[in-house]
Amino acid sequence: MKFGKLLKRQIEQSLPEWRDQFVSYKELKRIVSSISGCPPFPAEEALFVAALNADIDKIDAFFLEQEEEFVIRHRELQEAIKAAAAEAEVAAIRREIVDFHGEMVLLLNYSSVNYIGVAKILKKHDKRTGGALAPPVMEAVRERRHFVQTETVSLMVRECEAMMGAMFPTAAEGQAAARRDLEQLAAAEQGIFRNTVVALLTMQDVRSGSSTHGRHSLPPLTLPDSDWLRSFQPPSPIPIP
């Protein structure tokens, strides 16, 4: 699947309020395609750099905003678990944990997809112009931008999975009931859980099949490793040419 189509699908499967926050790959590609003739291309180059920088700023600000919100929600969930007593409270917390886990995985996927988008559009630009804009821009992104620094969110994902282990039955006789509870929660949460699974597959396949391996490879990312989550994964991989 071409990256443009994969990005379109990721946007469609994202949360509605996130859909304007992705890299403007189609518009950046249009600007690159408009470059013609022989170098130098001062006007076109300035337009491309300005548009790309605006996108990177947008992505970075959105990721940081979401990360800060998740840190607060994570703390609140921990406090709610300690205070929960009634079964209705426990059930509500279970639903919130599933949602929260899903949104954090979607944010990790958001980081991956946008990083790949920036790398790919820079590769197209350099191929079109014969320039070498990609190395310094990607180095600056890796070293200075929040949206590729995913350690905090990855840690909260793992801690959220530990919460799930505490909130759902783990004894052998309770596993079937736990699975039924989780399936019911997944169906009730309007696609967040399903999109979480798609996000996991995308992150795995982006890393295994992307042409951006090498100098611009994605930074290391510890993916969630839950047996119950992997059991929901559809079998079809998503190749990224």
Q: Give percent above pLDDT 90 in the chain.
A: 37
d(CA 46, CA 50): 6
Report in angstroms the alpha-carbon separations of 21 from 46, 65, 234. Answer: 22, 12, 27
Query: Number of structural domains, the chain?
Result: 1
Question: Three-state SS for 202?
Answer: helix
Per-residue pLDDT reduced to its tens digit, 94-131: 888 888 988 898 898 899 899 999 999 999 999 999 98
> What integer is the mean pLDDT of 24-34?
95
- Other CB atoms closer than 10 Å to residue 142's CB: what's the count? 15
Quickly tell me which residue has 């399903």 as its tokens. Answer: 194
pLDDT: is 151 or 196 the higher one? Answer: 151
Contact (Cβ atoms closer than 8 angstroms) between residue 110 and residue 14: yes
User: Does residue 203 lie in a domain region?
Assistant: yes
> What integer is the mean pLDDT of 200-215?
50
Predicted local distance difference test score (pLDDT) of residue 66:
97
> What integer is the mean pLDDT of 205-216?
49
User: Does residue 241 lie in a domain region?
Assistant: no
Q: Which class for 29: exposed (0-12), middle (13-18), buried (19 or more C-beta within 10 A)?
A: middle
Alpha helices, DSSP H, located in the chain? 3-12, 25-33, 42-83, 87-129, 134-144, 151-167, 175-188, 192-209, 227-230
Task: Please give the structure tokens belonging to residue 176.
Answer: 């079937």
d(CA 203, CA 4): 16
User: Does residue 236 lie in a domain region?
Assistant: no
pLDDT band for position 179 (50/70/90)? Answer: low
pLDDT: is 86 or 186 the higher one? Answer: 86
Predicted local distance difference test score (pLDDT) of residue 93:
85
Residue 57, pLDDT above cutoff 90 = yes
Query: Which residues are within 8 A (CB) of 60 and not within 5 positions of it... i.e. 6 or more apart?
Result: 145, 146, 147
DSSP code, position 41: -
pTM for the structure as a whole: 0.76
Residue 209, pLDDT above cutoff 80 = no
Q: Which class for 45: exposed (0-12), middle (13-18), buried (19 or more C-beta within 10 A)?
A: middle
Q: Which residues form the domain of 61?
A: 3-230
User: Does residue 240 lie in a domain region?
Assistant: no
Alpha carbon 145 to chain centroid distance? 15
Of residues 177, 181, 208, 176, the one with CA closest to residue 193? 181
